[in-house]
Amino acid sequence: MNYKTQFVKIENLPPANSFLSCSESAYLQTLRSEKRKGDWLGGRFALKVLLARESGFLPLCSLPCPDSWTSKIEMSEAALSVLKQIEVVKLPSGAPQVFVGSVPDARSVSISHSNGWAVAAVSPAQSLLGIDLEKIENRSRVWASEFFVEEERGPATDEHLTKVWTQKEAVVKLLGRGLSLNTREIVLQKDEVQLKGRALEVWQSLQSPQIILNSTRFDNHFIFTVAYAVAPAAMKFARI
């Protein structure tokens, strides 16, 4: 699958004003809770670093860019200046839109965060992308019955339910409609996507691309899922 990712530990971020644009700094001040601020900053920083690295900007600043940043992040003024030129704007749907030097960037991007970690992903233009990171933790049967159809609950272990939840969230982000979609309209069985209702309509409006899922463990305590859509093609699905 043609995408790249960048993980960062939120507590290791450099000062916010060192990598945010003026408008991003202004938006940060509207967020009330420290946790919300940290999550938002982590996602923006991860995405900016990833885009700068993939564009070839950051190597010019001699910055090491590990896929997973687990120690205190120290960057040169030149590198931070590059990040300030990349602006991440939140669309009405909730999806991020990137501008580089005020010019829209056509690449597909997605952001997620969970329990002190943030992650961003980028894929080429004309692709669709959605990611989700969740900590493996207790998930009750009541919760599962509210968001999952019976076929998805499987062994009902915390790891299984967390994995299915990340897959649903990643597909919702890929479809680009945010909370307007019902997670029960996205059915996951053996890592295959089945759609119905509004989710099916949205998928068809996108020319029915084949959706590929990749779910892995991260840092031993998390499930990370990427939903990636290649060039439009017929995708097998069930009309439920």
* Domain boundaries, position 197: 129-232
Domain endpoint, select from 94, 125, 156: 125
Residue whose entry in the numeric block shows the structure tokens 């967020």: 31
| pTM flag (> 0.75) | yes
Length of the chain equals 240
Q: What is the pLDDT of residues 86-103, one digit of tens each?
A: 999 888 877 889 999 889
Write down the residue that tokens 């700094």 correspond to: 25
Q: Has residue 148 been placed in a domain?
A: yes
Residues 63-78: tens digit of each pLDDT: 455 666 666 788 888 8
- Chain centre distance of CA 191: 18
- For residue 213, the domain's CATH number is 3.90.470.20
Structure confidence by residue, pLDDT tens digits, 157-204 = 999 999 999 999 999 999 987 767 888 899 998 778 999 999 999 999
Between helix 158-175 and helix 197-205 the angle, nearest 10°, is 50
- Select from 125, 146, 167 the last residue of a domain: 125
1 or 190, which is more confident: 190
**Alpha helical stretches, state H, 29-131:** 34-55, 77-84
Q: Would you say residue 238 lies in a domain?
A: no
Provide the domain count of the chain.
2
116 Cβ neighbours under 8 A, 6+ residues apart: 9, 10, 11
201-229 pLDDT, tens digit each: 999 999 999 999 999 999 999 999 999 99
d(CA 12, CA 51): 19
118 and 190 inside one domain: no
Same-domain check for residues 135 and 113: no
As a whole number of angstroms, the distance between CA 233 and CA 139 comes to: 35
172 and 189 part of one domain: yes
